[in-house]
Structure 1
Amino acid sequence: MSNTETRPAELVCGSEAAEAPRPRVDVLTAREVPLGGPRAMTVRRTLPQRARTLIGAWCFADHYGPDDVSRTGGMDVAPHPHTGLQTVSWLFSGEIEHRDSLGSHAFVRPGEVNLMTGGHGISHSEVSTPRTTVLHGVQLWVALPDAHRDAPRDFQHHVPEPVPFDGGEARVFLGSLLGATSPVRTFTPLLGAELTLAPGASAVLDVDTAFEHGVLVDAGDVRLDGTPLRPAELGYAAPGRTTLTLANDGTGPARLVLLGGPPFGEEIVMWWNFVGRSHQDIVEAREDWANASDRFGAVRGYDGGRLPAPALPNATIRPRRNPAPPAHPPTPPQTTA
């Protein structure tokens, strides 16, 4: 998916020393962003934002739907570029046709992950199909580490098997959880999974202590380590945990997306659909796209033109940094009988 904002924020993302202990779980609220014209569907964006720009290497999270495509027209994102990142598409309902300049022609369907590597440069289009009546899912981006940010274009597709656990079910599309491991290749350790919880259920998940985690709630009354999260909110849990406790306090099923990875140790610049390491990286990528450079290739089969790049800001991109997570989560006070 493209970032179609006409005045996208310029970001330099990284870590810096925290001046005070972080709370046990941070709750990040989303902002609404329209994709396209007056009948456009609206997405809820939880990453990046001022409170947090990265969770592991996850640098972008859009949550959309359930969207009645007869009313909004669904998704129609014209060919647009990416650099220095991977896109991860995951649907709950509907179907999206994907075309890219690698020559890939694939469909995004519920329970199937599509991962595209932009690296030095790729372009793609995304269009909801005529079979789609309700479009509902998430679009996620992963920042590539400096050693691999010019990696060749790539496209991967995987259908994870459901993994039952007491009170729910998981589909692990990246990384490892509950004994399941995705074969999809990434350039940093990552976790990505859809989890459902039955009404009133709770689950304790063993997780990598080196990872920070984000829980994006799609539906239900969810608690993460005791902190309530409403739909479209993202709960952030710092590294140091060996487990995450999830609970569904509602009378209906809950669904969420669990993201994780070790804190990303590099500072990155992110603007529009580009991830780089400097303002000049962004300038060059934008110029290459505007000039129809071979860097991004061509998308075949899309009925229409390309997305134009927005104007660059009239200033050098300045840092916006992540607060550094604490080494360990706060320890609850002990009481004696």
Structure 2
Amino acid sequence: MLYAYVTRNGRITRLEKGADLEQAIWIDLIQPGDAEIDSLRAIGVPVPSLADMEEIEISNRLYREDGLDYMTAVLPGERADGERSAMPVSFILSAQRLVTVRHHSPRPFLTFPDRGERSTLGCGSPDRLFVGLLEEIIARLADILEGSGRVLDDTMSGIFEPRASSVGSDRLQAALQKVGHEAELLARVRLGLLTIERILAFYTAIIDERPEAEKLRPVVRSQFRDVQALEVHADFLSSRVSLTVDTTLGMINLQQNNTVRVLSVVAALFLPPTLIASIYGMNFTNMPELNQPWGYPMAIGLMVGTAVGIWLLLRWKNWL
């Protein structure tokens, strides 16, 4: 799938299907097929394959070739099958246009065409488009971090509430699943921030070659600081995830201990009566109590008395 955009009156406008790509300032490729790849090659833009984009070496993700700057980030988004994952997105920047290649749908690529003119530098050139798109991506990653923080707040308040000891195991299990989901989401955001930081470092190294370097540099520097601040925030949330998991597991252990304690008390209460019943259930010939009329009431009394005695001992020790 291919979307081509131009800028008119300071706004991003999509070109009609089949329009001349030479006039496009931004071309967005989603899971490109052979036809789309050939159309980009016709205007001098080789498109990297998904295997090339997934290479983790910096030399394969950040490089210059034939006057084109290739920069690849790993961003969270939704795949075609509806699953959410982190996948690579390549930015191919030239003096004429920006080309983005992706195989999933990060939300900034859906929202940026409608509000690109509201970015710091607008969208009047490929470099401004690129910087504005990065700004949208960073803002989206910040939103995800804020959402994760709220989820962790709600989960922690549910665990630490005064009646937390009565929280059911199903609810604690659901809390663990929710925290696990947020941990995975934080990992994707952290990876996205790391790759965006590398892109900004690469772009900063070549920014002096851009005709609008004086305007671009302070914005890129500001984005670099934003990414570093978000990385610190992501690390803080990761530590909160660890605390939440440890707390939830601790509550589960407390519930299990309470269950084991009840079973242990029941076993202790019935242990002496069971011993007495076992003694008088032996089939020896010479057991005088068996022939006495008071033998049966005596055995019952011993069973009840020892059970009550054990119960009083446990209460005295504050084990009940």
Shorter-chain TM-score bucket reads under 0.3
- Determine which structure has the larger helix proportion and give its number: 2
Structure-2-length-normalised TM-score: 0.25
Answer with 1 or 2: which has the greater Rg: 2
- Determine which structure has the larger strand proportion and give its number: 1
Structure-1-length-normalised TM-score: 0.24
